[in-house]
Amino acid sequence: MERRQRHLVLIAARSFAAKLATPTLIADARGNLVYYNEAAARIIGRSHTDVGDVPASRWAELFATETPDGEPLPLERMPPGIALREGVGERFSFRFEARAGGWLACGPGG
């Protein structure tokens, strides 16, 4: 039953994200990027349909992340990585550059 509920939550999250104009990425409990919407696809340069699910270890193939000051920011220090490691969410500002070009500021100070 729990697996079915997770699947239904993912379906609902994808449906919601697809309607947003804000770039939105959805990762599962293991850190796999399981969906991103059209707004995010414009930044990344490829649609989720073309790319498919992306394991956390391969996120860097789609985009580079850094602090607002330009320091490299590995997944382990990003909110998704912290949530995976520690089981708690954290909010802070960061930005990412799609491999196709262009930076996007993210977070409360975004």
List pLDDT tens digits, range 74-86: 777 777 777 777 7
pLDDT at 38 over 90: yes
pTM of this structure: 0.71
Please check the confidence at residue 37 and state whether its pLDDT lies above 90: yes
CA angle 84–86–74, rounded 5-degree value: 55
Q: Which CATH class is domain 2-106?
A: alpha beta
- Residue 27 burial by CB count (10 A; 0-12/13-18/19+): exposed, middle or buried? buried
Query: For position 97, what pLDDT does the model report?
Result: 66
